Amino acid sequence: ALHLAQAEDGKGLDDFQKVYNAIAEKLRDEDEFDGYIGYGPNLVRLSWHVSGTFDKNDNSGGSFGGTYRFKKEADDPANKGLQNAARFLEPIAKKFPWISHGDLYTLAGVTALQEMQGPKIPWRPGRVDADEKDAPENGRLPDASKDGNYVRHYFGRFGFSDQEIVALLGAHCLGKTHLENSGYEGPWGAATNTFTNEFFVNLLNENWKLEKNDAGNEQYNSNKGYMMLPTDYGLIQDGKFKKYVEKYAKDQDAFFEDFKSAYVKLLENGIDFSKLGKAYVFKTLDEQDS
Ligand code: HEM
Ligand SMILES: Cc1nc2ccccn2c1N
Q: State the catalytic residue, choosing from 49, 101, 172, 208.
A: 49
Q: Are 11 and 130 in a shared domain?
A: yes
Active site residue 48: no
Give the number of whichever ligand sits closest to the CA of residue 227.
Answer: 2
| Nearest alpha carbon to residue 172 among 108, 218, 111, 234 | 234
Is any ligand 2 atom within 6 A of the Cβ of residue 127? no
Identify the CA nearest to 248 among candidates 138, 143, 163, 147.
163
273 with 136, same domain: the answer is yes
Task: State if residue 190 touches ligand 1 by the CB under 6 angstroms criterion.
Answer: no
Task: Ligand 2, residue 191: give the atom nearest the CA.
Answer: 1
8 and 105 belong to one structural domain: yes
Spans of the chain, pLDDT less than 70:
290
| Predicted pLDDT at 56 | 87
Residue pair 86/68 in contact (Cβ under 8 Å)? The answer is: yes
Q: Are residue 33 and residue 56 in the same domain, yes or no?
A: yes
pLDDT at 178: 97
pLDDT at 182: 98
One domain, residues 168 and 237: yes
Instruction: Supply the pLDDT for residue 188.
Output: 74
Nearest CA to ligand 2 atom 1: 191
Does ligand 2 have an atom closer than 6 angstroms to the CB of 45?
Answer: no
CA distances from 124 to 59, 71, 137, 166 (A): 19, 26, 26, 24
pLDDT for the residue numbered 199: 97
Q: Which domain CATH number covers 127?
A: 1.10.520.10
Closest ligand, as measured to the CA of 46: 1
Same domain as 153, residue 242: yes
DSSP 271: E
ipTM (interface predicted TM): 0.99
Domain limits for position 125: 3-140+262-289
CATH number at residue 196: 1.10.420.10
Q: Does 213 lie in the same domain as 269?
A: no
For residues 41 and 168, membership in a common domain is answered with no
Number of domains in the chain: 2
Calculated CA dihedral for residues 70, 75, 76, 77, nearest 10 degrees: 170
Is 124 found in the same domain as 7? yes
CA distances from 163 to 32, 169, 224 (A): 35, 10, 28
Task: Output the pTM of the full model.
Answer: 0.98
Same domain, 270 and 135: yes
pLDDT computed for residue 79 by the predictor: 98
Which one of the listed residues 3, 48, 153, 188 is annotated catalytic? 188
Give the per-residue pLDDT at 13.
Answer: 96
Best probe residue, ligand 2, of 192, 226, 227 (max atoms within 8 Å of C-beta): 227
